[in-house]
Structures are given as structure tokens and as C-alpha cells.
Chain A
Amino acid sequence: MKNKMKNIKMTKMILTLGVAMLVALPNANAAESSHDIPHVDFSFKGPFGTYDRGALQRGLQVYTQVCSACHGMKYVSYRNLSDLGYNEAQIKAIAAQNSTMDGPDDEGEMFERPMRPSDAFKEPYANDKQARYANNGALPPDLSLIAKARGGGADYIYALLTGYEDAPEGVTLSSGQHWNKYMAGNKIAMAAPLSDDIIAYEDESPTTADQYAKDVSHFLMWAAEPKMEVRKRTGIKVILFLLVFAGIMYAVKKKIWADLKK
């Protein structure tokens, strides 16, 4: 009796410690930047969450018309846009809106050609130095992975895009700096990029800065984690399988040990 109790107590303790470890440690890693970030009700959250194709397409529009002026997405190719619900012809047309240098041709010359679905998104600058020079010395980060490279993920992107405020009194911003309540250190080189009615949506969604921010955050999450849907789908199957398997193994184990006691 006493031993059994002891065992239960210890198992409980270990479980508690284990859970505490699993919960506390990752949070300990990510804690610094994720405080106070508002939680957005994105459709991709939760174990069954999926991306919303409409939001992704609108987000692409926001990226193309606003962000892409300064930010590249070098890990995303036009062909990947099939995930957003575009067909092959549409993707070809989207890609062909930009051109890239290719070559050398048979005469050894570089030449310009329209982009193809297999090309990565058009980079706004030829190199980092040019990017810095054009942006007051600040390098606009590549956005392909930004939603995974910041604590808080898509919520953080949304918060940052909507977190511009006038600097509090007593704070002086040097030229090219802006005040953002969610930026670490609050000073950010990027001016508020979104305002109401700057982009005309093709669907009925509101054309507000808030909606733009939501859509582009949604899109950036997809860009960072394009395999999320298949991952979750696979995960559900795997876990269901393992649960049943565990049940069977438990029955087998019990049966074998029960035979022993007879």
C-alpha cells in the first residue's frame, strides 16, 4: 500500500516536472519579445487550422504592392503560388510581370527575360549594400521566414504593422526612425507601411490598414511554413494511429503479464 502510494506520488511528481520543463523552457527561450502582443484569430491556428486562400491571395497583393518595394522573399518561388489557389496560367502571368537577368547567352552576353514560375520572387535590390544604401543604412530583412524568425510569429507581424504611434514625450527620434510599441527598443527604421484604402481588393474584404496587416501576416506565415497544412493532416493520422497502437500494445502487455499471475 505504502509502496504503491509512493509510486503514484513519484510518477505524478515526475510527470509534473516533465510538463513544467516542456512548457517552461521553450517559453524561457521566446519570452523576451512576445509580451503584450495581441492574439489574432488566424485561421491557421490550432491543430486543425488551415490557411485561408482568400487571405493568402490578398496578403500576396499587399506584399506585391507594398512590402516588395524594399523586402525580398528569396525562398519563395512563383510556382509555390499554386498553394494560394492560382492555376498554372495565372502563376505564369504573375511571374511574367517581373523580369530578371539571365545568361550568358551563346554570345556571352547577359540578357533580360521575363520571370518564370520556377524563379524565386523578384529581389528588390541587387545586393545587401544597395539595400542598405537605399534605406538609410538599415537592411530590410528578407521576409520568406520572418514569421518563424520572430517570437510571436504572425501575431507579432500583425502587431508590428499596426503598432506605430507618435513617440512619447521626451523621446527624440533621429531622422529615419519611427516609434513602434511592439518593436524591441521601440525604434524602427521602417515607416508605417500601411494605411487605409491604399490597395484595392478584388473581394469584399474591408480595405483598412488593419485588414491589410492581417492578410499580409497570414501570407507571411504561409511563406515561412508552406507545409503546415500537410504537416497537421499527417500529424493527426500519425497520432490516431499511435493511440490505437498504444492501446493494442497495452492490451498485449497486460495479457502477457496476466497469464503470468495465473
Chain B
Amino acid sequence: MGSGTRQKLDNPVMEWVDSRLPVFSLLQKEYGVFPTPKNFNYFWNFGAIAMVMLVTMIITGIVLAMNYATTATDAFDSVERIMRDVNHGWLLRYLHANGASFFFIAVYIHIFRGMYYGSYKQPRELLWMLGVLIFLLMMATAFMGYVLPWGQMSFWGATVITNLFSAIPLVGDSIVTLLWGGFSVDNPTLNRFFALHYLFPFLIVGVVFLHVWALHVTGSNNPTGVEAKGKQDTLPFHPYYTMKDSFGIVVFLIIYATFTFFLPNALGHPDNYIPADPLVTPAHIVPEWYFLPFYAILRAITFDIGIPFTDIVIIPAKLGGVLAMFGSIALLFVLPFLDKHPVRSSRYRPWFKWFLIAFTVNAFVLGLCGGKPAEGFWVPLAQLSTFYYFAFFLAVIPFLNKKEPVMALPESISAAVLEKKSAK
């Protein structure tokens, strides 16, 4: 970033700014000529798409906040006022509500891409961990945002999720009271959730900045998992990937717009159009779809864990569920240190590939279980799926570290591309 190596700009105004604060040089270096592997497929669009969704959420969120009332008595009414009376309010709210879902869709695909092509592996461990941190912050933000309309699902979702902390031994109940600011989810809870819901996206922006910074230190991974070895393997980010990303973004926006304009409530729950009622719990509480797999893991632990053949309980079922849920995210966090196999990309890891695809299908099964009432056949299915979720990290990956053969890798990205071309 030193100005010593800076190239002069033609435009005098830009040059004046750049010689004092080299923003244009920085942009040129990091997004203009930044060397990017030339063999990205469309999975590599989803980072940019997620970024667009983050910006969309922040912008629509700020304008919604201008019209939203943060009190338990007025919150629901103010949301209805946004939907009915505020100019374009219905559009802004539907964009925001569906935007959350599409942000998660983009991020889930982005995470899958990272796993499939081994993007988390050395030297990108910290990059991956920052990504998981973004995901965690997103979950917290989305959860608190869902509380704000103060419908039945908002209220009972908030009650159930905050009650998770009561599973913590000794201090659990005190923590829950602290979170609530009272003896139940009420006005103080809503107020602090709103304040934090407004704050967290900016924390996300901060961590995204670090995430991108870390990316630009190591450079991008690519579908072969072989590091770029020189100029012949890379392209300048602009215009090749700016344009490819733009295309991908517009396609993604088409699907997002289809939901926003034609199926705006399909991803939501009808009960959230009923004002919060602390006296009546809905028949069947479900979180938003993007939490369902984790919700299924939470509910899968229906048994106390103790010393066999005694009555001694070490981990009661409630605490077990909470630990399993947080553990499932913690495992993602430490994935770079679990997977020690020298090959990155699933293209050259046939064993890992199938276990990962099974893991992905399993995540959908978990999601399905999370959306169903915890009864009958869904309980053992959720337990089986939860078992595989953990086994994937704790048994499959260590097993593959030792047993999966190391395939010969292409010499370079260019070599791989050439081989692919000549095969056609």
C-alpha cells in the first residue's frame, strides 16, 4: 500500500486523492489486476452474491427501521403499517424478509463450495474460520430480526431459543433472565434485540472485510485445488470475474425477485401474522428454514447421557441438545484442523466427495426433520442424521486422512485446463 510504488493516475482529481489516500490504487490492485485463477466455475460466484445480499439486507433494513416501532405494543402494528400505508413498504419488507432466506441460500452454497473444493485447507484456515464467524453472526442477526415483527413465531421462537441457555448448569437461569431483561420475553427483550439486530450487520461487514483481506493474502482456491503457479494460471479480476460475477448476481436476483414478488410468504410461517400472545403457544413451533437442520440436531438428543447401569446423569437431554447444536457449528470451525488429507479438491478425492455429498443430503434430511413435529418416525431419523453429521467430522474425515489414496494432481491450473480441452 506504500505510495512509493504507486502509479500516477491520469485524472488530476483522482491523482490528488490517490497520492494522499491510495484508495484507487488499492481498488486497482485488489479488484482490477488482482490475479485470480482462470478456471473458476459458477460456484465461485456465491461469495460476490452473498456480498450483494448483505448490502441489500443492510439497505432495506435501514429504511424499514425508519418506519418500525420498537415496543411490544406497537411493533406488530408498525409492521402492518409498513405493509399497508408506507410508500413501497410492502416491497421493502418482502425484500428484507425474503432477502434473509436468499442470503442464507447464497452462504450455504458458498460453504458447500468451500468444503467440496477444500478451500479451508492450509494456508486458508483463518479465511475459513472468519467465514464460519460470519455465518454465526448471520444466524444471531437473523434470529433477532425474526423476533422484531412480534408475531406468534417471533415471540415463541425468542422464548424457545433464549431458553436454550437455561440448560447451562448453575448460571443458566440467570443468563436467561439477563437476556430477557425480565421474567419472560417482553418489551426489554424486543428493544435489545432491535438494537443488536441493527448493530450486528455492521460487525458482519467488518468480518467480511477481514475475510476478503485474508482471501487476498492467500489468493483464491480453484476447482483443481492446485495453487496458481504463475501468470499463465491467472487472469486479472477485472473484467473477467467482475463480469462473470455480475452475470451470476443477476441470475440469482431473478430467483430472489420471483420469491419476493410472487411467493413472498412461502418461506415464512402463517403464525407470524398472528400478533404475539404470551398466553397461547402455537401448536408447532418451527424456526425459519435456514435454522431447521440445527433445530433438528437440538431436538435429536432426547435422552440423558449418564453412566450406564446407574442413575447418574452426566448430561441431561436438554443440555445434550444444546451442546450438540453448538457443537455442530464448532465442528465447522475446526474443520481445517480435522481434515489433514494433502489433496484439496474433491475432483481428486473420490472417497471424500461421496461422503461430502452424503453429508449435504444429510443436511437436507436434517432440515426436513427440523420442520416436522418431533414425533414418530421423524425422531429416529433426526437422530440417525445427527449421528452422521458428527460422524462425518469425527470419524469419516480422520479415516480418510489415513486411508484415502492420494491421487496424482495436474501439474498446474493451465495443465488441467488444457487437458480438459483436449479431451473434448
Chain A residues at the B interface, C-beta cutoff of 8 Å:
1-4, 6-7, 11, 13-14, 17-18, 20-21, 24-26, 28-30, 32, 47, 75, 80, 141, 144-145, 148-151, 184, 224, 226-227, 230-232, 234-236, 238-239, 242-243, 245-246, 249-250, 252-253, 256-257, 260
Contact = CB atoms under 8 A, between A and B. Distances in A.
B266 A26 contact: yes
B36 to A, nearest CB: 13
Contacts of A150: 270
Nearest to A236: B261
B212 interface: no
A256 B247 CA distance: 12
A1 B422 CA distance: 8
Interface of B: 41-42, 77, 80, 83-84, 90-91, 94, 105, 109, 112, 235, 239-240, 243-244, 246-247, 250-251, 253-254, 257-258, 260-262, 264-271, 273-274, 283-284, 286, 289, 292, 347, 357, 360-361, 364, 367-368, 371-373, 420, 423-424
A3 B257 contact: no
Contacts of A7: 41
A236 B264 CA distance: 14
Contacts of A141: 274
A226 B257 contact: no
Given A17-B361, A25-B371, A231 B261 contact: yes
A14 B247 contact: no
Contacts of A47: 262
Given A7-B41, A148-B265, A243 B254 contact: yes
Contacts of B361: 17
Contact of B273 (A26, A184, A224, A235): A224
Contacts of B286: 28-29
Contacts of A246: 247, 250-251, 254
A252 to B, nearest CB: 5
B104 to A, nearest CB: 11
Contacts of B424: 1, 4
Contacts of A1: 423-424
Contacts of B292: 25, 28
B109 A238 contact: no
A245 B289 contact: no
A235 B257 contact: yes
Nearest to B292: A25
A165 B112 CA distance: 52
Nearest to B424: A1
A157 to B, nearest CB: 12
A242 B253 contact: yes
Q: Which residue, of B235, B243, B364, B420, has the highest number of chain A Cβ atoms within 10 A?
A: B243
Contact of A145 (B80, B371, B372): B80
A17 B112 CA distance: 12
Q: Which residue, of A26, A151, A252, has the highest number of chain B Cβ atoms within 10 A?
A: A26
Given A29-B286, A75-B80, A238-B257, A21 B264 contact: no
Contact of B83 (A25, A29, A227): A227
B240 A3 contact: no
A79 to B, nearest CB: 10
Contact of B347 (A3, A20, A28, A239): A3
Contact of A253 (B41, B84, B244): B244
B83 A260 contact: no
A250 B254 CA distance: 14
Q: Which residue, of B84, B94, B235, has the highest number of chain A Cβ atoms within 10 A?
A: B84
B149 to A, nearest CB: 11
Given A17-B360, A150-B270, 6 more contacts: A21-B367, A26-B266, A30-B269, A235-B262, A245-B250, A252-B246
Given A47-B262, A243-B254, A28 B371 contact: yes
A235 B250 contact: no
Given A145-B80, A227-B84, A242-B254, A25 B243 contact: no
